[in-house]
Amino acid sequence: MPTDKKRSKIAESEVAGSFDGAHRNVIYERLMNAISEHRLQPGTKLAEDRLSSIFSVSRTTVRAVLQQLSHELVVTIVPNRGAFVASPTVEEARELFEARRQIELPIIEKVCRCATKKDLARLRAHVAQENEARKRDDRRTAVRLSGEFHVMLAQVSGNRFIERTMRGLQMLTCLTILLYNAPTAQACPHDEHSRLIDALEAGNVKLAQKLMVEHLEHIEATLRLHEPAEEDDNLEAILFDR
């Protein structure tokens, strides 16, 4: 049986681990949101010491987040150089959209068969938020919400692993658009999500999948090769949107 002193140390360790986990989640979400809102550019260096200072955490905590993002392919870790926001190549961009077609069509089929009225209402509410963001010309929010719509579809499908995979693919799509499309271009045309929900609500699998393919092709067709934008050195302002 552990002594009172050992119990105290175990409790302290558990509390510390809880705080550390909370910090990791905050850093992870800040970085992901900055990418999804096109505030963090592809190729931006994510220096451990700067992030450690910005978030007032240890470099070990920062390193754990960067490793997680690396596993999700959103961050590239280069030995002896550090971590960088991923910069998908042209070939990787093509593979990305091929992967999305292979993953999202089965998602659509499952959502079409299992989505509840509550799920559909939540999707429609989300699209309404997208439209409101566009009306007030809040492009950052509109871009983020457009990407989150696809993650929500994966969430409705009920598979957590697919949901996590979809989120990583969506982040890579955001980076790809930044690299190969005009910064002002719309990733998701305003009516395509609504039409897709209509097909899902009608239970029309073939139509819903057709609309998803057209939607992804529409996004992919806007891509063109160009030089990456210059890196913004004010990392703290980017992460906290100052």
Sign for the pseudo-dihedral over CA of 221, 139, 36, 125: negative
Is pLDDT at 8 greater than 80 in this prediction?
no
Whole-Å CA distances, 166 to 24, 49, 189:
21, 30, 19
For residue 233, the model assigns a pLDDT of 63
**Lowest pLDDT segment from 6-10, 85-89, 154-158:** 6-10
Helix (H) or strand (E) holding 98: helix 90-114
Average pLDDT, whole number, for the chain?
86
Is pLDDT at 7 greater than 60 in this prediction?
no
Given its phi and psi angles, is residue 89 left (phi above 0), alpha (psi -120 to 50 degrees) or beta?
Answer: beta
Ordered by start, the domain boundaries in the chain are: 4-86+228-239, 90-221
Is pLDDT at 12 greater than 60 in this prediction?
no
- Model confidence, pTM: 0.77
For residue 126, the model assigns a pLDDT of 96
Is pLDDT at 184 greater than 80 in this prediction?
no
For residue 148, the model assigns a pLDDT of 93
Whole-Å CA distances, 129 to 124, 148, 170, 194, 212:
9, 11, 18, 12, 20
- Report strand pairing: 82-85 vs 75-78: antiparallel
3-class secondary structure, 188: coil
Is pLDDT at 14 greater than 60 in this prediction?
no
For residue 162, the model assigns a pLDDT of 94
Rounded distance, CA 13 to CA 36, Å?
A: 34
For residue 71, the model assigns a pLDDT of 92
SS (H, E, C) 31-71: HHHHHHCCCCCCCCECCHHHHHHHHCCCHHHHHHHHHHHHH
In 3D space, the residue among 74, 72, 48 whose CA is nearest the CA of residue 61 turns out to be: 48
Spatial CB neighbours of 18, under 8 Å, sequence gap ≥ 6: none
**4-86+228-239: in CATH 1.10.730.10:** no
Is pLDDT at 140 greater than 90 in this prediction?
no
For residue 177, the model assigns a pLDDT of 86
Dig out the tokens for 57 from the structure.
């955490």
What ranges make up the beta strands (E) of the chain? 75-78, 82-85
CATH of the structural domain 90-221, one choice from 3.30.565.10, 1.20.120.530, 1.10.10.10, 2.160.10.10: 1.20.120.530
Whole-Å CA distances, 89 to 5, 200, 226:
55, 34, 11
- 98 or 230, greater pLDDT: 98
For residue 19, the model assigns a pLDDT of 46
pLDDT tens track for 210-240:
999 999 999 888 888 544 445 556 777 777 7
- Residue 4: pLDDT band with limits 50, 70, 90: low
- Residue 192: pLDDT band with limits 50, 70, 90: very high
Is pLDDT at 189 greater than 80 in this prediction?
no
What average pLDDT does this structure show over 127-155?
A: 92
Dig out the tokens for 51 from the structure.
């992030």
What average pLDDT does this structure show over 202-207?
A: 96
| Inter-residue contact 97 to 216 (CB < 8 Å) | yes
Whole-Å CA distances, 109 to 19, 87, 122, 211, 240:
40, 31, 18, 12, 38
Of all residues in the chain, what percent carry a pLDDT higher than 90?
A: 64
